[in-house]
């Protein structure tokens, strides 16, 4: 199996360097750091979907540091930029989730259409059951055609149980049944798959609130984790998405998917800055083990490749 | 859709219009602001840069400074360039005479190909074709099943087979279509990354075997800067013929539309705006440019209004308003005309100036119209003519008859009363131009 870095870089290496000069190109072009260099770095951050505001802010900090430390060496500036980016992404090192706090520990998976929620659940199920937890899936996406079958396939692949509802059943009732089943079967972690929904659809967001409310009524503090699945290709609208989902349900983390492509997912910087929601996992492909815990250092490394 | 982008442009343009004469400097300032607007809208950095350079070149200098209304001219230039960037003409699907005609759908994972396949099939059937959906995604679990369910829901046949080779599936589908009198096949290929050489090669093979009339690149309307990388790779390998933007019913600013268009020079053919299979729009760059600039989609709106409004009825209404005998019956008629024009939210978005400020965040509930209609329908003719007779017991009866509450009935009556008062005031204020009968407010 390729290492995470290798996988991340794999995608990035294949990007045509034509469009943007990568970091090394930018830096090696000039032996002295000047405003042009900073402007090019800013451009690179914008091209990574950090957004004009965030990019400007980071470059402003970098400029300050350059002045302060009279730092003009290319190697220095790369190091400082990396530090700034990492700091921007996580204020403190993340503690690992303690699944034993609750039994069953309920994780609800939400997001807009087509970001990879069902695939992510398949991978999470595989990961958790590999760690020795008893995992169960709840197919609460009763809307999209064949979503239940799709989840069923993942359940089979990772060898975990799944609560299979009728098509068109009320998702909240599916969640309700799933919790009961999870308790009865002594399950450690229950993963709830919800239908993709655009954050602008008021009714659908209300439905999501209802699912979480039903979960909370059955089990203290459930869902214990709500993960927003976001496609790394998402642009600046990602921030609005995160805001709206966080308003409806308590989003505790982000799963950034499709990082095996050429998109860099820079929107997560703005999301963390504005909403304080950290990235917890990253998706790197379509196989069962293509999911990794988020590491800010590696992520920034890949971003600057 | 494009709303926030439109808002921002709105702000920039208002500033511009405020200026008497444009100097090189204040054009430059505005251009910086527009660059930012474009970046926030996810227009690719380089595309935005070129756009700005083009506009600036045309804006600064003689042309603008000598004109009487420089602000208007800049708006026009921005509008023109934006239009140019998105394609100069509207594009339809082109079919050869060969049977079956073939449309191949390609794109990244999760861009919405399968849902779009269903929409396209429905669209083509309405156009008199007899489409067949072809399930060529053998990779994603239950993808074939998903297409089958989609097809079944709109009563369109789906071709699938056990084969583990999408190229063979597509080849056989052509045969199958010929034997079964299907004149169009829609190939739903698996989502894939543009850097996955093997899978991109598979698409090239499908193209070679089927030789489709149209190859559409289906892209998520929320895509950010990476849109250009993906689009470039797909166009280089497949030379696709058109672009489809999906999830355009969200509030993404849709800059990807501009980016993809700019790097591929292929026309945008459709916008997909919802999960219901009849929610498909043909893309009109001209209208979209107007919309982005905050002029509203005047063309669409006028056309829609013309379609649904009966000129005679409108004239009669105008008369009634002048003579102050506007009754609930007229109110009902008006509501029914508005309803004919389509979902209110869509209509509002087309009206100039509606994108911003006051309308922001207002959720228009089409059901409210239905309720109001039910309430008025439950009244006697006399009550509709003379709403003043509505006492408590009549209100109760109407509420029961319409399946609403007395509060709802009160609300309608109050709103109607307010409308009447407003009309009275308008009459006092002098002449009133009634292009489109006033929309009831406050629903």
Burial class (CB in 10 A: 0-12, 13-18, 19+), A157: middle
Cβ contacts (< 8 Å) between A44 and chain B: which residues? Answer: none
Q: What is the mean pLDDT of residues B231-257?
A: 89
Mutate to test the interface with B, among A40, A146, A199 (most CBs of B within 10 A): A146
DSSP-derived 3-state class of residue A288:
coil
Instruction: Give me the DSSP letters along A201-263.
Output: -HHHHHHHHHHHHHHHHHSTT-SSEEEEEEETTB-THHHHHHHHHHHHS---EEEEE-TTSS-
A 134-163 residues with CB < 8 A to B: 143-147, 149-150, 152-154, 157
CA-nearest residue of chain B to A239?
B252
Contacts of B248 in chain A (CB under 8 A): none
- Indicate whether B149 pLDDT > 90: yes
CB contact under 8 A, A113 and B253: no
Residue B4 binned pLDDT confidence (cut-offs 50, 70, 90): low
Are B163 and B239 within one domain? yes
Q: Are residues B74 and B181 in the same domain?
A: no
What pLDDT, on a 0 to 100 scale, did the predictor assign at position B28? 73
For residue B438, being part of any structural domain is answered with no
The answer, yes or no, to whether residue B253 has pLDDT greater than 90, is no
Length of chain A counted residue by residue: 305
Statement: residue B23 has pLDDT above 70: no
* Percent of chain B surpassing pLDDT 70: 69
pLDDT for residue A169 is more than 70: yes
pLDDT band at A121, cuts 50/70/90? Answer: very high
Domain membership flag for residue B22: yes
Query: How many helical (H) and strand (E) elements, i.e. helices and strands, does chain B have?
Result: 20, 8
**Once rounded to an integer, what is the mean pLDDT over residues A187-193?**
97
B288/B177 same-domain check? yes
Cα dist. B309→B257, B304, B312, B337, B340 in Å?
Answer: 33, 8, 9, 6, 9
Q: Kindly state the average pLDDT of the residues B190-201.
A: 94
In this complex, the residue of A47, A114, A198 whose CB is nearest that of residue B111 is A114
Distance in Å, alpha carbon of A116 to nearest chain B alpha carbon: 7
Contact B12/B37 with Cβ under 8 angstroms?
yes
Domain boundary among B243, B271, B296: B296
Interface test with B, best of A21, A59, A233 (most B CBs within 10 A): A233
Give the pair of three-digit tokens for residue B196.
């996955």
Distance CA B239, CA B50 (A): 23
CATH number, domain containing residue B118: 3.40.50.300
- Report residue A28's pLDDT band, with 50, 70 and 90 as the boundaries: low
Mean pLDDT confidence for B75-84: 73
pLDDT category of residue B443 using cuts at 50, 70 and 90? very low
pTM, to two decimals: 0.76
Residue B435, pLDDT > 50, answer no
Q: What is the CATH number of the domain that holds B361?
A: 1.10.260.30
| Higher per-residue pLDDT: B131 or B31 | B131
Residue B282, token pair as written in the block: 């043909």
Among B86, B116, B151, the domain-final residue is B86
Span A42-64, average pLDDT: 93
B437 within domain boundaries: no
Say whether both B305 and B292 belong to one domain.
no
Residue B88 pLDDT greater than 80, yes or no: no
Pairing type for strands B268-272 and B280-282 reads antiparallel
Does a structural domain hold residue B96?
no
> Residues B241, B122: one domain?
yes
* CA–CA separation, B314 and B308 (whole Å): 11
The confidence score (pLDDT) of residue A290 equals 93
**Residues B270, B175: one domain?**
yes
| Residue B46 contacts residue A19 (beta carbons within 8 Å) | yes
pLDDT score of B92 more than 80 = yes
**In a shared domain, residues B70 and B214:** no
- Comparing A184-193, B217-226, B426-435, which segment has the lowest mean pLDDT? B426-435
Task: Report angle CA A20, A21, A26 to the nearest 5 degrees.
Answer: 145
CA A15, CA A197: separation in Å to the nearest integer? 31
Residue B435 within any structural domain of the chain = no
Determine the Cα–Cα distance for residues B46 and B219; give it in Å rounded to an integer: 19
pLDDT > 50? residue B48: yes
Residues B313 and B412 in one domain: yes
Measured CA to CA, the distance from residue B105 to residue B215 in angstroms comes to 6
For A88, what's the count of Cα atoms within 13 Å in the CB-facing half-sphere? Answer: 24
Whether B36 is covered by a domain: the verdict is yes
Contact yes or no for B194/B233 (Cβ under 8 A): yes
Tell me whether residue B396 is in a domain: yes
Measured distance CA(B156)–CA(B171) in Å, rounded: 19
CB B87 within 8 A of CB B241: no
Tell me whether 0.85 is exceeded by the ipTM: yes
Q: Is residue B54 a part of any domain in this protein? A: yes
Same domain (yes/no): B82, B24: yes
Same domain, B273 and B312: no
The reported pLDDT for the residue numbered B299 is 40
Query: What is the per-residue pLDDT for B422?
Result: 73
B192 at A interface, C-beta within 8 A: no
Eight-state DSSP code of residue B187: E
> Same domain for B113 and B58?
no
**Residue B288 pLDDT:** 62
Highest-confidence segment of A26-35, A75-84, B305-314, B318-327: A75-84
CB < 8 Å to A302, chain B: none
In angstroms, rounded to a whole number, what is the distance separating the alpha carbons of residues B12 and B3?
Answer: 14
Name beta bridge partners: B281.
B271
Q: How many domains does chain B have?
A: 3
Q: What residue numbers bound the domain in which B352 lies?
A: 301-428
Mean pLDDT over B239-266 rounds to 87
pLDDT band at B442 (very low <50, low <70, confident <90, very high): very low
Mean pLDDT of chain A: 87
Question: Given an 8 Å threshold on Cβ–Cβ distance, is B251 in contact with A237?
Answer: yes
Which domains does chain A carry?
4-89 (1.20.120.140), 101-295 (3.40.50.300)
- Tens of pLDDT, residues B364-413: 566 777 888 889 989 998 888 888 888 999 999 999 999 999 998 998 88
CATH of the domain at B70: 1.20.120.140
Please report residues of B whose CB lies closer than 8 A to that of A153.
Answer: 141-142
Using CB atoms, which residue from A15, A235, A260 is nearest to B229?
A: A15
- Residue B51 shares a structural domain with residue B121: no
Pairing state between β A279-283 and A291-293: antiparallel
């Amino acid at each position: 199996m390729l290492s995470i870095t290798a996988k991340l870089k794999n995608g990035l290496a294949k990007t045509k360097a034509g469009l943007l000069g990568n970091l090394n190109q930018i830096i090696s072009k000039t032996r002295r750091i000047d405003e042009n260099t900073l402007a090019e770095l800013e451009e690179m951050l914008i091209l990574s979907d950090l957004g004009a505001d965030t990019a400007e802010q980071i470059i402003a900090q970098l400029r300050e540091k350059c002045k302060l430390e009279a730092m003009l060496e290319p190697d220095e500036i790369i190091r400082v930029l990396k530090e700034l980016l990492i700091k921007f992404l996580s204020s403190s090192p993340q503690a690992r989730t303690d699944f034993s706090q609750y039994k069953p520990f309920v994780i609800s998976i939400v997001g807009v259409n087509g970001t990879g929620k069902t695939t992510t659940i398949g991978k999470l199920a595989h990961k958790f059951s590999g760690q020795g937890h008893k995992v169960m899936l709840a197919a609460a996406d009763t809307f999209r055609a064949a979503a239940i079958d799709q989840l069923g396939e993942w359940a089979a692949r990772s060898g975990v149980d799944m609560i299979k509802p009728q098509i068109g059943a009320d998702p909240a009732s599916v969640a309700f049944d799933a919790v009961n089943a999870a308790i009865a079967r002594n399950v450690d972690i229950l993963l709830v798959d919800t239908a993709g929904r655009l954050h602008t659809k008021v009714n659908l967001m209300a439905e999501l609130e209802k699912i979480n409310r039903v979960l909370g009524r059955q089990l203290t503090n459930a869902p214990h984790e709500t993960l927003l699945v976001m496609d790394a290709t998402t642009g600046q609208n990602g921030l609005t998405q995160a805001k709206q989902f966080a308003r409806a349900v308590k989003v505790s983390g982000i799963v950034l998917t499709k990082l095996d492509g050429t998109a860099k997912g820079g929107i997560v910087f703005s999301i963390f800055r504005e909403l304080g929601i950290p990235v917890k996992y990253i998706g790197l492909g379509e196989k069962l083990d293509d999911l990794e815990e988020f590491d800010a250092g590696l992520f920034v490394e890949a971003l600057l490749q | 859709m494009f709303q926030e982008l439109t808002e921002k442009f709105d702000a920039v343009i208002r500033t511009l219009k405020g200026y008497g004469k444009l100097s090189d400097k204040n054009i430059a300032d505005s251009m910086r602001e527009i660059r930012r607007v474009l970046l926030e809208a996810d227009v690719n950095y380089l595309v935005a840069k070129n756009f700005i350079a083009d506009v600036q070149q045309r804006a600064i200098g003689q042309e603008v400074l000598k004109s009487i209304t420089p602000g208007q001219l800049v708006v026009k230039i921005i509008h023109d360039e934006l239009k140019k960037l998105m394609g100069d003409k509207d594009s339809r699907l082109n079919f050869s005479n060969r049977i079956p005609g073939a449309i191949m759908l390609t794109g990244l994972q999760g861009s919405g190909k399968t849902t779009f396949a269903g929409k396209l099939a429905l669209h083509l059937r309405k156009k008199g074709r007899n489409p067949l959906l072809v399930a060529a995604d053998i990779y994603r679990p239950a993808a074939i099943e998903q297409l089958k369910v989609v097809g079944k829901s709109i009563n369109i046949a789906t071709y699938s087979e056990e084969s583990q080779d999408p190229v063979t599936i597509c080849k056989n589908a052509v045969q199958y279509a010929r034997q079964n009198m299907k004149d169009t096949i829609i190939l739903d290929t698996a989502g894939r990354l543009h850097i996955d050489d093997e899978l991109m090669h598979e698409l090239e093979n499908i193209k070679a075997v089927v030789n489709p009339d149209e190859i559409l690149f289906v892209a998520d309307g929320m895509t950010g800067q990476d849109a250009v990388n993906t689009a470039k790779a797909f166009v280089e390998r497949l030379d696709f013929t058109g672009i489809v933007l999906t999830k355009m019913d969200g509030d993404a600013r849709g800059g990807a539309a501009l980016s993809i268009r700019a790097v591929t020079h292929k026309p945008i053919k459709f916008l997909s705006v919802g999960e219901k299979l009849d929610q498909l729009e043909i893309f009109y760059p001209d209208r979209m440019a107007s919309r982005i600039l905050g002029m509203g989609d005047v063309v669409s709106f006028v056309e829609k209004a013309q379609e649904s409004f009966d000129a005679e009825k409108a004239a009669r209404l105008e008369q009634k308003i002048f003579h102050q005998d506007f009754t609930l019956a007229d109110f009902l008629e008006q509501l029914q005309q508005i309803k004919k024009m389509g979902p209110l939210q869509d209509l509002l978005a087309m009206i100039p100036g509606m994108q911003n400020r006051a309308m922001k965040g207002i959720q228009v509930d089409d059901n409210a119209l239905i309720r109001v209609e039910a309430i008025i329908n439950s009244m006697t003719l006399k009550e509709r003519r003379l709403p003043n007779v509505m006492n408590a017991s009549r209100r109760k009866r109407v509420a029961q008859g319409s399946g609403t509450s007395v509060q709802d009935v009160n609300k309608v009556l109050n709103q109607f009363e307010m409308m009447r008062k407003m009309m009275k005031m308008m009459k006092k204020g002098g002449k009133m131009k009634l292009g489109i009968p006033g929309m009831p407010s406050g629903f």
